[in-house]
Structure 1
Amino acid sequence: MKNGKRAIVLAGMFILAAAGISQAIVIHSENPLPGEVIPAVSDYQTTGAEMVGMSVTVFFTAAPSETVLWAATGVDSGAASGAGGDWSLSESGDTFGNPWTLIYQGGKGLLSGFRLDGFAAPDAAQVGVMFDRTFDGNFGTPDSFRGRDFEYLGAEPPFDTFVRYESSVAVGAAPAVGDEFRYLNVAFLYLPGFDDEFTTIPPQPGGLDGDNLRTFSFFQDTNNPIVPEPFTLVLLAGGAVLTLRRRKAAY
């Protein structure tokens, strides 16, 4: 009888494991460090054309990563493309309600992830961009309006997606609210599963293969910061540190 119960329990575990493997998931996480300081938010209705100054780094399983600066391609559109034209990331319209599209033609293994740096511009003349999170649907950083986390348009791809926001953005001497970030990191993996009763399968690389899966679209809201000149940035950072010291002294 005990063996029968054990068999039923194990069968249930395998069913749950199989369900977990077949159901792709999107996991969001964040790391506020090291942190950025800006004078103010300049625009919360950011379009593809207004993300100049952002860099796009794409990762492959069979080739080195590639980094390209974002460029405007139209009145409200922008894109970044690989030197050989084998991949592209594009967006048109307000990023809150309009999707981004990633395309990969193959030839370098899997396209296993990408990293966006909103403050990668070589000079302050570039616009720059921040990634605005959903923040439970609430207003966050002053003048930023509501944000929207990374989410797929339509059916999710078969692999699991790990989305990580890094380096929270503060305005002036005020502490960061926690909805705006400089970096967006997206990685594609297949989570571990069960091979048999006692053996687990380690995580496997996932992503676009350039064959059966060449493209997908996703949403991710962005905002434009007012990018300070280096001297102003130092003053703002100094003000933030001074505020933090005063708070600690109060305790």
Structure 2
Amino acid sequence: MKKLLTASAFLTAASLLGMVGNAQAATISALTGYSTMGGASTGMQVRVTFADNTTSTGVWSAINFYSGVASADGWTLFQSGDTFGNPWTFSNNSSKTISSLFINAIAGSTLFDQTNPNPGTTGSAAGWDFTPVIGSSPTSFTYSNIVNLVGQPAVGDLYAALTINWDSGFSTGSNLSFIADTDSAISVIDPSDPQSVPVPAAFIGIGLAGAFLAKKEISRRQKSQKSEQ
């Protein structure tokens, strides 16, 4: 049974500019689960861009069923447990300041699942937008590459990638814990002629309250129960 998270687990509300930009579409044949653990995304690509415009890339690997990690050149991205509620942790132990973090989840048959629309894509259950928990909060974040089920139009909740940006830099020794829900997919189809899919940008206020979290958890459970009937 999942435990409801409380507001005391999070930082005081902060406002970020969250965007889902003009992205090329990706198609999947099916979703295999919405309780995606950190160990389920083997092959996911993680790229860090430093303030000097050099880059560093790591590939996600499973530590065990519940946990996974990607690391290279002194930085580490780690996650353990169901991504709906259990945080990712990004650490910079390199000698350079980081300007952005890019997570190409679809390379590991994984998709980011946003809070809205709800209900979203069939089989996705409730999602959870990128939400800082504690640490050096970014300036902005962007979901990209909207995803649809084969034979169906994109609903707008599933995306292949997430980019997190720090305008003033994510300095050496910095850490960030954040929530970003993911779902698992099979048979990722690379479209031969992907088209741009415009999705309006929006300000997303990052503020958490116990009642808000409980509402999303209840919605998730209700959708799960319906799918099992």
- Shorter-chain TM-score: which interval? 0.7 to 0.9
- Residue 121 of structure 2 aligns with an amino acid whose one-letter code is T
User: 1:1-251, aligned counterparts within 5 Å?
Assistant: 25-62=15-52, 64-82=54-72, 84=73, 86-108=74-96, 110-120=97-107, 127-135=108-116, 138-154=118-134, 157=136, 160-189=138-167, 205-207=168-170, 209-211=171-173, 214-228=174-188
For residues 92 and 102 of structure 2, the distance between their equivalents in structure 1, rounded to whole angstroms, comes to: 15
Asked if the contact 1:25/1:160 (under 8 Å) is kept, the reply is: no
State the distance in 2 between where 1:166 and 1:63 align: 21
Amino acid at match of 1:60: F
Is contact 1:140–1:146 with CA below 8 Å preserved after alignment?
Answer: yes
- 2:14 and 2:166 map into 1 onto residues whose CA distance is 10
Quick check: 1:42–1:226 contact (8 Å CA) kept in 2? yes
| Contact 1:31/1:168 (<8 A) preserved | no
User: Gapped runs of 5+ residues in structure 1?
Assistant: 1-22, 121-126, 190-204, 239-251
The residue matched to 1:115 in structure 2 has which SS? strand
Q: Indicate the percent of aligned positions where both proteins have the same amino acid.
A: 32
1:24 and 1:134 map into 2 onto residues whose CA distance is 18
Give the alignment's TM-score, normalised by structure 2.
0.73
Query: By how many angstroms is 1:229 displaced?
Result: 6.6
Shift of the alpha carbon at 1:219? 0.3
Partner-residue secondary structure (3-state), 1:226 = strand
Runs of 4+ in structure 1 displaced over 3 angstroms?
A: none
By relative contact order (CA 8 Å, sep 6+), the higher-ranking structure is 2
TM-score calculated relative to the size of structure 1: 0.67
SS at the partner of 1:107?
Answer: coil
Report SS of the residue matched to 1:167. Answer: strand
Q: What 5-or-longer segments of structure 2 have no aligned partner?
A: 1-12, 195-229
Per the alignment, in what secondary structure is the counterpart of residue 49 of structure 1? Answer: helix
Paired position in structure 2 for 1:19: none
Q: Which has the larger radius of gyration?
A: 1
Root-mean-square deviation over aligned CA pairs: 2.3
Q: Which structure has greater strand proportion? A: 2
Contact 2:40 2:65 in 1 (8 A): no
